[in-house]
């Protein structure tokens, strides 16, 4: 029976190494030189590149890609186990070559890019010679493609892109931007004339494309194929966000438990108060339910496809936002006034939960998707009574024993008595 919750000993050794490496190398880099992993300055690269090389030497670089593209081809399940660790540290995904939005953009290039496009953008992204962004949502339309207005018009041997995009994560620091237009997906170098990056928001950028000209070869995939490409990209992105969220929830839970054992209130350690115990118990259950859902979804993708797992991916997406919000809020309360400051990660976690519930499609849309897909496997019950209406089921079941009941008055009395009761047993 192929039903197992264990990790192969060889990969567990890798995970143990990753945990130690992140704790002793990645976290100190984040604390003393924040942003060094992304920086292009020679001094920053001198600090970060040796760490990235250690990851490559362990065979853990770009774990989400197959061997033909420079990754180990381990699949989504092992990536989920890895991300349970990486998600605790700000720059760990970059150090391991698994940072968003580059991961999703590399997957698009791997699936739809021509040889020339892969040489120009995929391999430089894989080697972190360049970084990328994904420009999809619009101020007036949010994430609903039917309301988008950004369009590319063909003019000779060029495309001319005009429109406005909102919440392009990492757009200001990207070298190339994947721009979703009404008639296709286009790769736009950030320094192309006409790309206007607004000063706000600082991380999720507002960008205007003012008659931006790019070569015809910058169309990724088929013309008018942007929706298909976006759904493929966002499906993977959602499960990767969920993987990293498990790590954040685990960090909040660890902080909660440590604090509960370290502080006193009203004459005893606060871990002895029932309200604190309830917070810990609820958080433990929610963390592990989320974790198992994410691992199950990753396993499903590995054994079928992202398309086959789309209902699970959608459920992971809105569940991870909810669990992050609830557990980080409880941890913040148990931490006390310190939790409301930026001196621990808790305030940032709690503030990130609403973004998690909106990014890559609002939770409400994903809930509709889940409900619709789930209901496809059900049918309305015939007649007035539902399928589990006990009197009707009992009447039907009695026919199975009709010969025994007819032949044995004692069994008949037993069955008659049961028929008068609305409940089972």
- Fold of the domain spanning 9-113: Butyryl-Coa Dehydrogenase, subunit A; domain 1 (1.10.540)
Domain residue limits, the chain:
9-113, 132-220, 227-375, 390-419
Q: Alpha-carbon distance 222 to 130, whole Å?
A: 24
Residue 425 pLDDT greater than 60, yes or no: no
Q: Which helix (H) or strand (E) holds 278?
A: helix 274-303
Q: Note the CATH architecture for domain 227-375.
A: Up-down Bundle (1.20)
List pLDDT tens digits, range 356-410: 999 888 999 999 999 999 999 999 999 999 999 999 999 999 999 999 999 999 9
Residue 135 pLDDT greater than 80, yes or no: yes
pLDDT at 63: 87
**Nearest alpha carbon to residue 132 among 160, 169, 95, 98:** 169
List pLDDT tens digits, range 186-208: 999 999 999 999 999 998 999 99
- Fold of the domain spanning 132-220: Butyryl-CoA Dehydrogenase, subunit A; domain 2 (2.40.110)
**Nearest alpha carbon to residue 154 among 213, 204, 112:** 213
Q: Which residues pair with 212 in a beta bridge?
A: 161
Where is pLDDT greater, at 415 or 232? 415
pLDDT at 1: 67
Contact 390, 422 (CB under 8 A): yes
**What is the pLDDT averaged over residues 203-225?**
97
pTM for the full predicted model: 0.92
**What is the pLDDT averaged over residues 45-67?**
93
**What is the pLDDT averaged over residues 29-57?**
96
pLDDT at 65: 83
Query: What angle (nearest 5°) sits at the alpha carbon of residue 143, between those of residues 138 and 146?
Result: 85
List pLDDT tens digits, range 58-116: 999 998 888 877 778 888 999 999 999 999 999 999 999 999 999 999 999 999 999 99
Chain mean position to CA 83: 10
Where is pLDDT greater, at 143 or 214? 214
CA pseudo-torsion sign 353, 354, 357, 358: negative
């Amino acid at each position: 029976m192929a039903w197992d919750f264990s990790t192969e000993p060889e990969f567990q050794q890798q995970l143990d190494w990753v945990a130690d490496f992140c704790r002793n190398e990645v976290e100190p880099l984040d604390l003393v030189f924040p942003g060094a992993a992304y920086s292009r300055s020679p001094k920053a690269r001198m600090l970060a590149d040796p760490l990235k090389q250690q990851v490559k030497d362990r065979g853990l670089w770009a774990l989400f890609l197959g061997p033909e593209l420079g990754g180990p081809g381990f699949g989504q399940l092992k990536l989920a186990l890895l991300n349970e660790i990486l998600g605790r540290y700000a720059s760990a995904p970059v150090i391991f070559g698994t940072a968003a939005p580059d991961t999703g953009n590399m997957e698009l290039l791997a699936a739809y890019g021509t040889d020339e496009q892969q040489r120009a953008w995929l391999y430089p992204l894989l080697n972190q010679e360049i970084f990328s962004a994904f420009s999809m949502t619009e101020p007036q339309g949010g994430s609903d493609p039917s309301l988008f207005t950004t369009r590319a018009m063909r003019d000779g041997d060029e495309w001319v892109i005009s429109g406005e995009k909102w919440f392009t994560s990492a757009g200001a620091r990207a070298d190339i931007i994947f721009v979703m237009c009404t008639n296709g997906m286009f790769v736009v170098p950030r320094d192309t004339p006409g790309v206007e990056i607004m000063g706000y928001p600082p991380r999720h950028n507002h960008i205007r494309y003012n008659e931006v000209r790019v070569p015809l070869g910058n169309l990724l995939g088929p013309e008018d194929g942007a929706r298909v490409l976006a759904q493929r990209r966002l499906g993977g992105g959602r499960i990767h966000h969920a993987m990293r969220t498990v790590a954040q929830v685990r960090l909040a839970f660890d902080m909660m438990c440590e604090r509960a054992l370290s502080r006193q209130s009203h004459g005893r350690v606060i871990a002895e108060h029932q309200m604190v115990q309830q917070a810990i118990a609820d958080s433990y259950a929610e963390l592990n339910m989320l974790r198992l859902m994410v691992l199950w979804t990753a396993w499903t993708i590995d054994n079928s496809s992202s398309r086959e797992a789309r209902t699970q991916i959608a459920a992971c997406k809105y569940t991870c936002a909810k669990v992050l919000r609830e557990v980080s809020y409880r941890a913040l309360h148990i931490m006390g006034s310190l939790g409301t400051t930026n001196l621990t990660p808790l305030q940032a976690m709690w503030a990130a939960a609403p973004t998690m519930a909106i990014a890559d499609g609002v939770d409400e849309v994903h809930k509709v998707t889940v409900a619709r897909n789930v209901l496809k496997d059900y049918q309305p019950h015939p007649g007035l009574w539902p399928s589990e209406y006990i009197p009707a089921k009992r009447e039907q079941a009695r026919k199975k024993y009709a010969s025994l009941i007819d032949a044995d008055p004692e069994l008949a009395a037993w069955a008659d008595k049961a028929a008068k009761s609305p409940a089972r047993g």
